[in-house]
Chains A and B, each alone.
Chain A
């Protein structure tokens, strides 16, 4: 799209506040005045509150459950256990990954804090009191916590319900605690390359179990109307239509009797994609009691039960020539999925898009094998601010590239640049099956090097290392580099579905007679600012000011069907649907304009907010005039009205990329680090709202910092989960959070209607390996090759201790 050049057009374009401008957010008007409407803000007459009694054990048979004391508490209306749920065939529920999951413990418990009984009472204090009074008698069973021991010959059987099943949702199982093996790439060719490799590295790179931890926990409010036979579900749902489909499938209700509403959501980051026992229990409780039932989990429940992220253990091998050219990549991943396989991935991708593990590099051959196993941990592997399993493998490849560079004695930047996919190679077919749409990695890296003065930093580091060796300083300087390629925008129907529904997304635009408009989308903002940016796309496309366009999402009764917001898919998929719907409107408006101006359609050209006659710009009809005409005098044979719907099935994923550089100083005697600089260059293609992009990048970098430098959901040998309140789980405050420097290049996606690629998750994907590489870089001149995440002060101190630096 060419920018207008004449002054009147520029002025008119500015008034639209369309794509490319730093439009202030529409949402902020209500949020800054305390007028957001989150799930827990909603109250319905007669509303009850539900709370769980949870397992104190990680693995145990349940000998008995006594709910009598709980039921005796004044104000308690009902107590549900698996027995009650069996009556409605809901003791178990299907997961998004093709497994089944207990809603309430059925015969045994498989992880600590698992849901056992759901107490419903007239207020939340009573529900909590009574939940404590549920008595459970356990018979302890041995636990499996270490995923590397899950498939031992004598490992305890975790899932007795499927212990004899030889096949799972993703093919054959080789052990009763095995979930799937997934392989891609040419194994024989890859093995052959490694057999004759001049240089090879092999490292176990583990990405610890973490949790997205949005500030608002998961919650819902369910109201069943017995007379109408309809159910209304308010919830913290990143994908409200998917939730409605799940309800339709398991309850056998028609969709028009299921009203799923996602109101304002207090952050999601992947946590709010799945369906959790709290939702099912609230629904059953509302049906049983005939009253609305609200369930709001507390923070400990959130961190220990509703999903987790990562827990990937990646044995990563690179083969290369002595002069630094990569010749092969071989990766095996052991994936700890917890007690049930409830990972939120597209159906055909049990390990998400882990085959993006070749990253930004031109590997001629590669092979990836992933084994998923059950352990006595919480289920629900979600994409914590990343596309499906992309952050994990970006960490693996970016660490492994550093390790190989170290082995070869080449600077990590030079090693990367030498192996980058070149601009002229796009669209690029990767060895593991993806077609990268566009990229210009060399330009981005060069810009990053210049902006940070990279070569000078290396000189400074060398001098500091000499000083350290002479005993003149106790500080180490680390320079972390990461160059990531994401894969987002799931996804094309040819390879992406959830519950059999293709992963398209949708937009409906109605232009009203006065030239204002309403847009409804299948996506659902959780802070991304869709109400602001979606209107900007429409404004540019059809010339209606963004301020005159209202955006609605989240109500399944009114929004067109969409697969929701996660995996950075909103801009690549919904954004495309919006542009396509707008173009349908524009095409109809053009016909109306031609009729009104008595010219042929082909004689008209678009000019910011109007169609004008070519060569006679005084003859024009503005979109406001055309909107009125659409309801007043359309050409003969044309239907009146001006609205359009688009369901967009993307032809390909999009591949945002970026160059990140971190400079960090580490005190070897305390393990305390200081991030001196963090530079993030992101290329997300066409930029819709630079202000919002920068905000997304800041947020993603902060989450990446938290993960790399401290977050971990820890289980002890007994399966006790610890570190699951904000007392222990690391959420950086404004004091720890580094100051971010952001930059960009623009390489549009060739297949996306507006060239946009999506950005929300790139900074998490890129920054985690960048921080980890900085820590490792600080120590590598002392002989260290890999220090595992998270890099909290104690572990960094321990790394220094292990290197003998404290004598």
Chain B
């Protein structure tokens, strides 16, 4: 099958690779660019392990072709920490609140939560639960993920988060 060049902005840098037109974005990222933070969990766009941020929207990267993301700005878990290595409040919150166990859903979950907090900087617990309902976790039961996102929301809003992880 003939190949096509796909160039996009990944975590602030221009990247490109030659791929078949049918190549899914998740495979473009993982196989061609060695960006292995986003994972594959279901192949049917239910689990959200492959979630990345494209031009300001949470997108399940197993559900679109790489060519559809050509020219877009894509953010993955690899782009969350600052250039100085300082972790994003969400990355810190997930650790502080024990919001992960096996870690497989975590990159997608954090990227989804990042967009959620952009859209709603002061979410209620219910809004968080609805907001991450496209991302499945088999380990945590979500309770501490909600706390982790609240931790990050508080920190991003300059408030100290009081609640401890259970």
Q: A36-B103, A41-B36, A214-B138 given as contacts; is B98 within 8 A of A695 (CB)?
A: yes
Q: Given the complex, which residues of B lie within 8 Å of A213, measured CB to CB?
A: 138
Partner of B95, one of A29, A267, A726: A29
Partner of A698, one of B31, B136, B144: B144
Q: A698-B166, A733-B133 given as contacts; is B41 within 8 A of A298 (CB)?
A: no
11 contacts between A and B (CB under 8 A): A22-B164, A38-B104, A300-B43, A691-B165, A695-B140, A695-B166, A699-B101, A699-B140, A725-B43, A725-B44, A740-B143
Q: Given the complex, which residues of A lie within 8 Å of B133, measured CB to CB?
A: 733-735
B41 to chain A, nearest CB (A): 4
Q: In chain B, residues 114-140, which have Cβ atoms closer than 8 Å to a Cβ of chain A?
A: 128-130, 132-140
A318 interfacial by beta-carbon distance below 8 Å:
no
Q: Which segment of A420-428, A455-463, A523-531 sits at the interface?
A: A523-531
A600 to chain B, nearest CB (A): 46
B61 interfacial by beta-carbon distance below 8 Å:
no
Report which residue of A31, A125, A296, A528 has the largest number of chain B beta carbons within 10 angstroms of its beta carbon: A31
Contact with A along B12-34 (1 / 0, CB 8 A): 00000000101100010011001
A170 interfacial by beta-carbon distance below 8 Å:
no
* Bound form: Cα–Cα A40–B133 in Å: 25
B73 interfacial by beta-carbon distance below 8 Å:
no
Q: Is B136 within 8 A of A527, CB to CB?
A: no
Partner of A734, one of B47, B129, B138: B129
Q: Is B110 within 8 A of A32, CB to CB?
A: yes
* Bound form: Cα–Cα A266–B46 in Å: 17
Q: Is A266 within 8 A of B103, CB to CB?
A: yes
Q: Is A28 within 8 A of B100, CB to CB?
A: yes
* Bound form: Cα–Cα A4–B164 in Å: 25
Contact with A along B129-161 (1 / 0, CB 8 A): 110111111111111111000000000000000
Q: Which residues of B contact A (CB under 8 A)?
A: 20, 22-23, 27, 30-31, 34-44, 46-47, 49, 76-78, 80-81, 87, 91-92, 94-96, 98, 100-107, 110, 128-130, 132-146, 164-166
Q: Given the complex, which residues of B lie within 8 Å of A526, measured CB to CB?
A: 102
Report which residue of A269, A696, A702 has the largest number of chain B beta carbons within 10 angstroms of its beta carbon: A702
Q: A125-B20, A215-B105 given as contacts; is B141 within 8 A of A699 (CB)?
A: yes
Q: Given the complex, which residues of B lie within 8 Å of A735, measured CB to CB?
A: 129-130, 133
Report which residue of A25, A266, A735, A739 has the largest number of chain B beta carbons within 10 angstroms of its beta carbon: A266
A626 to chain B, nearest CB (A): 33
A265 interfacial by beta-carbon distance below 8 Å:
yes
Q: Is A34 within 8 A of B49, CB to CB?
A: no
Q: In chain A, residues 266-322, which have Cβ atoms closer than 8 Å to a Cβ of chain B?
A: 266-267, 269, 296, 298-300
Add 17 more A-B contacts to A34-B38, A742-B166 (CB < 8 A): A25-B100, A27-B103, A32-B77, A32-B106, A33-B81, A33-B87, A34-B35, A43-B34, A215-B104, A215-B137, A695-B101, A695-B140, A698-B142, A726-B46, A731-B47, A735-B129, A737-B142
Give the bracket for the number of chain A residues in contact with chain B.
35 or more
Q: In chain A, residues 506-546, which have Cβ atoms closer than 8 Å to a Cβ of chain B?
A: 526-529
Q: Is A33 within 8 A of B102, CB to CB?
A: no
B149 to chain A, nearest CB (A): 10
* Bound form: Cα–Cα A737–B30 in Å: 31
A163 interfacial by beta-carbon distance below 8 Å:
no
Q: In chain A, residues 396-418, which have Cβ atoms closer than 8 Å to a Cβ of chain B?
A: none
Q: Which residue of A lies closest to B78 (CB)?
A: A34
Partner of B102, one of A123, A267, A701: A267
Q: Given the complex, which residues of B lie within 8 Å of A269, measured CB to CB?
A: 138
Q: Is B104 within 8 A of A299, CB to CB?
A: no
A609 to chain B, nearest CB (A): 26
Q: Is A215 within 8 A of B41, CB to CB?
A: yes
B6 to chain A, nearest CB (A): 15
A216 interfacial by beta-carbon distance below 8 Å:
yes
Chain B binding surface, main DSSP class:
loop
Q: Given the complex, which residues of A lie within 8 Å of B34, measured CB to CB?
A: 43
Partner of A299, one of B44, B137, B142, B146: B44
Partner of A216, one of B39, B43, B101, B129: B39
A-B contact count (CB 8 A): 187
Q: A298-B43, A725-B44, A726-B136 given as contacts; is B103 within 8 A of A31 (CB)?
A: yes
A694 interfacial by beta-carbon distance below 8 Å:
yes
B65 to chain A, nearest CB (A): 12
Q: Is B101 within 8 A of A32, CB to CB?
A: no
Q: Which residue of A lies closest to B132 (CB)?
A: A734
A692 interfacial by beta-carbon distance below 8 Å:
yes
B115 to chain A, nearest CB (A): 15
Q: In chain A, residues 703-717, which have Cβ atoms closer than 8 Å to a Cβ of chain B?
A: 703
Q: Given the complex, which residues of A lie within 8 Å of B20, measured CB to CB?
A: 125
A727 interfacial by beta-carbon distance below 8 Å:
yes
Q: Is A528 within 8 A of B47, CB to CB?
A: no
Q: Given the complex, which residues of B lie within 8 Å of A740, measured CB to CB?
A: 141, 143
* Bound form: Cα–Cα A40–B104 in Å: 12
B17 to chain A, nearest CB (A): 13
Q: Is B139 within 8 A of A699, CB to CB?
A: yes
Partner of A527, one of B41, B42, B102, B129: B102
Q: Given the complex, which residues of B lie within 8 Å of A264, measured CB to CB?
A: 102-103
Q: Given the complex, which residues of B lie within 8 Å of A703, measured CB to CB?
A: 138
A615 to chain B, nearest CB (A): 41
* Bound form: Cα–Cα A36–B77 in Å: 11
Q: Given the complex, which residues of A lie within 8 Å of B137, measured CB to CB?
A: 215, 734
A723 to chain B, nearest CB (A): 13
B106 to chain A, nearest CB (A): 5
A24 interfacial by beta-carbon distance below 8 Å:
yes
Contact with B along A17-31 (1 / 0, CB 8 A): 000001011011111
* Bound form: Cα–Cα A29–B91 in Å: 9
Report which residue of B43, B49, B78, B101 has the largest number of chain A beta carbons within 10 angstroms of its beta carbon: B101
Partner of B165, one of A22, A35, A215, A699: A22
Q: Given the complex, which residues of A lie within 8 Å of B105, measured CB to CB?
A: 215
Q: Which residue of B lies closest to A701 (CB)?
A: B141
Q: Which residue of A lies closest to B20 (CB)?
A: A125
B161 to chain A, nearest CB (A): 15
Q: Which residue of B lies closest to A24 (CB)?
A: B95
Q: Given the complex, which residues of B lie within 8 Å of A725, measured CB to CB?
A: 42-44, 46
Partner of A726, one of B42, B102, B110, B132: B42
Q: Is A698 within 8 A of B104, CB to CB?
A: no
Partner of B104, one of A29, A216, A298, A733: A216
Q: Is A727 within 8 A of B104, CB to CB?
A: no
Q: Is B102 within 8 A of A34, CB to CB?
A: no
Q: Is B46 within 8 A of A734, CB to CB?
A: no
Q: A299-B42, A735-B133 given as contacts; is B37 within 8 A of A34 (CB)?
A: yes
Q: Is A734 within 8 A of B142, CB to CB?
A: yes
Q: Is B101 within 8 A of A528, CB to CB?
A: yes
Q: Given the complex, which residues of A lie within 8 Å of B47, measured CB to CB?
A: 215, 726, 731
Q: Is A694 within 8 A of B166, CB to CB?
A: yes
Q: Given the complex, which residues of B lie within 8 Å of A702, measured CB to CB?
A: 138, 140-142
* Bound form: Cα–Cα A696–B98 in Å: 10
Q: In chain A, residues 1-60, which have Cβ atoms closer than 8 Å to a Cβ of chain B?
A: 22, 24-25, 27-36, 38, 40-41, 43
A46 to chain B, nearest CB (A): 15
Partner of A267, one of B107, B134, B139: B139
Q: Is A38 within 8 A of B44, CB to CB?
A: no
Q: Given the complex, which residues of A lie within 8 Å of B144, measured CB to CB?
A: 695, 698
Q: Given the complex, which residues of A lie within 8 Å of B42, measured CB to CB?
A: 299, 725-726
Partner of A33, one of B30, B39, B91, B140: B91
Q: A215-B41, A267-B138 given as contacts; is B78 within 8 A of A33 (CB)?
A: yes
Q: Which residue of A lies closest to B134 (CB)?
A: A733
Q: Given the complex, which residues of A lie within 8 Å of B23, measured CB to CB?
A: 125
* Bound form: Cα–Cα A589–B78 in Å: 44
